[in-house]
Amino acid sequence: MREASGGVQFTWEPNRDVLPYDFRYGPPSFTDFPHETWCRVMARRARRVTIRDLDYGAPEGLPALREAISDYVARARAITCTPEQVLVVNGSQQALDLAARVLVDPGDVVLMEEPHYRGARTVMRAAGAKIETIAVDEHGLRPADLAGRRTLSRLAIVTPSHQFPTGAVMPLGRRLELLSWARRSGACVFEDDYDSEYRYSGRPIEALAALDNSGCVIYAATFSKVMFPSLRLGYMILPDRLVEPFRSAKALMDTGGPVFPQAALVDFIREGHFERHLHRTRTRNSSRRAAMLEAIERYLGSAAHISGINAGLHLVLWLRDLPASRARELRMRAARAGVGVYPVAPFYLNPPRHVGLLLGYAPMPEKQIAEGIRRLASVVNSL
């Protein structure tokens, strides 16, 4: 995500000036995706299209896809839900927008992690919400900081499985504390589970939605990070009491998503292609992650501190000897060296004092990662 001129218009379109060593965060490796398999699935579905398939679809999504998703999250995230609780959306950004439309009135307080995903902040502010933040440490959001708050909150937005952008993983104890706070305060918790499929060490921790027994968690996930962004498909798992309000808001927003890609995705999941692809990609991303860690240790050593290494598709590289005021200069010099880097400061309301860089590694081969880090280290040393 980047801001266009004037800082007003937002776009997810990548920069047109492609650098040879671009550590852009967010996208998966498109070369890992089984294109031929997907094309065969799509072609087979195209041959079966009926006249009825050309009409509007249900706003909540294709019934078969909702069933496939409910089966998948039970296996992968230990979430027990019915297909009726699944709402198919056009990615996690639409899920956030729906939450703002249904739950937030102008002047309401929305809690966010500090730092946090800018796309969520922008959506909530557009709805007239007041943003208040809760600090994040190496274990994610600190639920203890919620206890003394006097302001009532309608909604809290969290990324417990891989905090964005720091990469912290919230332990089970904190997850239970957060759910206890939500029950007491009557707030909803929006769980953005944007890339939990990629975990490289430690035992998987249950999603908040899997631990929720009071119907306060809204779970959102996307296929953008595990397949490809232009598919524009994600999903929400809603408490029973919120199913109809969210479905109605979705119907008013877009009258329902395209049926054909949803039908193809059903086949892709049910035939086992999706989870085989996940397994292969997880292995390859683990190798890319290892290459980045090795290169950082080799070329930057003690000058760098790393966070967010156990999960996801990116990590945060902290340069303790560089003040935040040098971030723009570092980025410009790195670009001249052919390296694209992305400061972490825009994801804070109160930016850190030192330079932090959000480095994605999924789209790059191991040798390219190592050379990019070597060039970046040369720029850092020159500063």
Provide the angle, in degrees to the nearest 10, between the axes of the packed helices 366-382 and 327-336: 130
CA-CA distance, 32 to 20, in Å (whole number)? 19
Asked if the structure places residue 59 within a domain, the reply is yes
* 305 and 326 co-located in one domain: yes
Asked if the structure places residue 38 within a domain, the reply is no
| DSSP per residue, 254-274 | HS---HHHHHHHHHHHHTTHH
**Under 8 Å between Cβ of 369 and 24:** no
**Under 8 Å between Cβ of 228 and 29:** no
User: Into how many domains does the chain fold?
Assistant: 2
- Per the structure, the complete domain to which residue 27 belongs is given by 2-32+276-382
Local structure of residue 107 (DSSP, 8 states): T
* 238 and 299 co-located in one domain: no
* 97 and 200 co-located in one domain: yes
Q: The dihedral of CA 20, 21, 27, 33: what is its sign?
A: positive
pLDDT tens, per residue, the chain with 383 residues:
555 434 445 555 566 567 999 999 888 889 999 999 999 999 999 898 888 888 888 999 999 999 999 999 999 899 999 999 999 999 899 999 999 999 999 999 999 999 999 999 999 999 999 999 999 999 999 988 887 777 788 899 999 998 999 989 999 999 999 999 999 999 999 999 987 788 877 666 789 999 999 999 999 999 988 999 888 999 999 999 999 999 999 999 988 888 889 999 999 999 999 999 999 999 999 999 999 999 999 999 998 999 888 888 899 999 988 999 999 999 999 999 999 999 999 999 988 999 999 999 999 999 999 999 999 999 999 98
CA-CA distance, 235 to 227, in Å (whole number)? 14
CATH number at residue 309: 3.90.1150.10
The whole-model pTM stands at: 0.92
* 172 and 294 co-located in one domain: no
